[in-house]
Amino acid sequence: MFTQTNRVRRRLVTGGALLTATALALAGCGRSEDSGAAAPESTTSVGSGPATGDLTVWAMGTEGENLPQLTKAFEQANPGTKVTVTPIPWDAAHNKFTTAITAQSLPDAAMVGTTWMGEFAGLDALDPTPNGFDTAGFFPGALDTTKVGGVGYGVPWYVETRVVYYRKDLAAKAGITTPPTDWDGLKAMAKAMQDKAGAKYGINLQPGGQGSWQTVMPFAWSAGASITSDDDKQFTLDSPEMQEGLKYYQSFFTEKVAGTDLPPNQTEAQFVSGQVPMFISGPWMAGSIAKLGGDKMKANIGVFELPKNKTSTSFVGGSNFVVFKASKNKDSAWKLVQWLSEAKTQTEWYKLSTDLPAVQSAWQDPSIASDPLLPVFGKQLETAKAPPAIVNWEQVATAFDAEVEKMAKAGQSPADTAKAIQTKATSIGTGS
């Protein structure tokens, strides 16, 4: 859900791109050095006075609709400031941003999908986080998503991570009283769900297709793999650790504990019906299961952290909040960002939107701490990781998904899969 590829119609993209290119070619404008190759240093620092002037903000989806309620409080604390929020549908957002970056018609600040950071920073659109901006309180994995080539751009705004969901009643039937903590335990539990609790498949794992890397990488990370070298310059997807993660993932399909023939977008329904009583996903699923299965089902939803190999490392998603270089009111824009990342604001925002806070201290609020499921997500977030913020990540991820599909459905060996992902990723390049 947070790795949107642009789905705007083909004609718009091609036509728009070609038109822009031609128009620019005709206008003959030139630009030489600022191609984003050299990492820019942050030059600004946030002033201490109240924010002033008008601010325009873009935000996607329900966040875009809810944000004005939150910014009202900011306007009250900073008299004379007016924040105008433009809601953008997720589907059109990536394209709208890249077009706006090309045309330099950007807002002052915006919510940005974590996997777009590398690309937008590569397009030289983002303003580096000012000096002295306190970022210590964020979840480290979430904070990593704001860093491109060692430079921070903006802050994490809200987060999500993936844990294992299971049906408590069926687990009891299968003779499982405490959730497993290691790889063998997870497999055994899924098998028991099939053998003793009447499930068609023990666990629902995505057999390739868009975004499946988000479920695969946590296993590889837990085995010690990494996507790139420490400096983000080389891909390291062909490591033995990566193969170990892939092998474990594939074994669920070869042992028929997970299915390749399940219709997509039926995860909740199959969970409620008991056909597939386990899956790995993010916090939003608890709500949609409760909606489908009612209060009785709600009591049967259990979650536990990803099983451990070397570590238990999940995927961290969410959205960041950035300020654009082109903004004419940067100081006030950063003040808004600073205000958005205060623990108190983050708690308010959780109550308004159910988006989980990116600031760790906000999780102590009773509204989150007393939830039956959320603390597990909070625990998982402490170690969760994000893919490196490289320009070409979306493209690498697509190649990754295609190879995972071959491995799950066509029996491609984990070694060949790792090799193919590495080869494709290398030929695509990091893009920086």
Partner 1 sequence: MSTATLQEKSARVRPPGRPSARGRRPLDRQTLAAWILALPFVLLFLAFSAGPVIGSLGMSFTDIKQRDLRTPFAVNGVGIENYVKALSDETFRRAALNTAYFVVVGVPLTLVAALGAAVLLDRGVKKFQSLFKVAYYLPVVTSIVAIAVIWRFVLSPDAGLLNTVLGWVGIDGPNWLASKTWAMPSLIAMAVWRNFGSAMIIFLAGLQGIPQSVEEAGQLDGAGSWQRFRYLILPLLRPTVLFTSVVTGIGYLQFFEEPFVMTQGGPLNSTVSVSMYTYQQFGFGNYGLATAMSYLLFVVIAVVTFIQFRLLREK
Instruction: Name the site residues for partner 1 (rule: CB under 8 A).
Output: 5-6, 10, 13-15, 17-22, 24-26, 28-32, 35-36, 98, 102, 119, 122-124, 208-210, 260-261, 263, 391-392, 394-395, 398, 402, 405-406, 409-410, 431
CB of 150 to partner 1, least distance (A): 19
Query: In whole angstroms, what is the distance from residue 339 CA to residue 52 CA?
Result: 14
What tokens were used for 366?
Answer: 């009773």
If the CB atoms of residues 311 and 432 are measured against partner 1, the closer one turns out to be 432
Residue (of 173, 158, 89) closest to 359 by Cα position: 158
* Residue 276 · residue 200 · CB < 8 Å: yes
Total H helices, total E strands in the chain: 17, 11
Judged by beta carbon, residue 212 or residue 360, the one nearer partner 1 is 212
CB of 190 to partner 1, least distance (A): 21
Q: Are 321 and 111 in contact (CB under 8 A)?
A: yes
Nearer to partner 1, 94 or 385 (CB): 94
* Residue closer to partner 1, measured from CB, 32 or 370: 32
Q: Which helix (H) or strand (E) covers residue 323, if one does?
A: strand 316-323
Reduced to 3 states, what is the DSSP secondary structure of residue 105? coil
Minimum Å distance from CB 130 to partner 1? 24
Least spacing, CB of residue 143 vs partner 1, in Å: 25
Closest approach of Cβ 365 to partner 1, in Å? 40
Identify which of residues 1 and 73 has a Cβ nearer to partner 1 in the complex. Answer: 1
Whole-number Å distance between alpha carbons of 174 and 196: 5
CB closer to partner 1, 215 vs 346: 215
Phi and psi at residue 359, in whole multiples of 5°? -90, 125
Q: Measured from the CB of residue 281, what is the shortest distance to partner 1 in angstroms?
A: 19
Longest dimension (CA), the chain: 72
Kindly tell me the burial class for residue 26, based on how many C-beta atoms sit within 10 Å of its own C-beta (0-12, 13-18, 19 or more): exposed
Q: Describe the strand order of the beta sheet including 301-304 as a list of residue ranges.
A: 278-281, 163-167, 301-304
* Amino acid at site 399: A
CB 6, CB 95: distance < 8 Å: yes
Helices 213-222, 393-410: axis angle to 10 degrees equals 90
Sequence-distant (6+) residues with CB within 8 A of 182 are: 307, 308, 309
By beta-carbon proximity to partner 1, the closer residue of 24 and 415 is 24
- In the complex with partner 1, the residue whose CB is nearer, 26 or 38, is 26
DSSP per residue, 76-113: HHSTT-EEEEEEE-HHHHHHHHHHHHHHT---SEEEEE
Min separation Cβ 325 and partner 1, Å: 13
When the beta carbons of 32 and 48 are compared against partner 1, the nearer one is: 32
The enclosing H or E element of 374 equals helix 374-381
315: number of CA atoms within 13 Å, CB side? Answer: 26
Strand pairing report for 54-60 and 82-88 = parallel
Shortest reach from residue 38's CB to partner 1, in Å:
14
CB of 149 to partner 1, least distance (A): 14
What secondary structure does DSSP assign to 166-213, as a single string? EEHHHHHHTT--S---BHHHHHHHHHHHHHHS--SSS-B---SSTTTH
CA angle (337, 341, 346) in 5-degree steps: 125
Whichever of 298 and 409 has its CB closer to partner 1, that residue is 409
Q: Which is nearer to partner 1, 136 or 410 (CB)?
A: 410
Residue 10 CB, nearest approach to partner 1 (Å): 5
Q: How far is the CB of 161 from partner 1 (least distance, A)?
A: 25
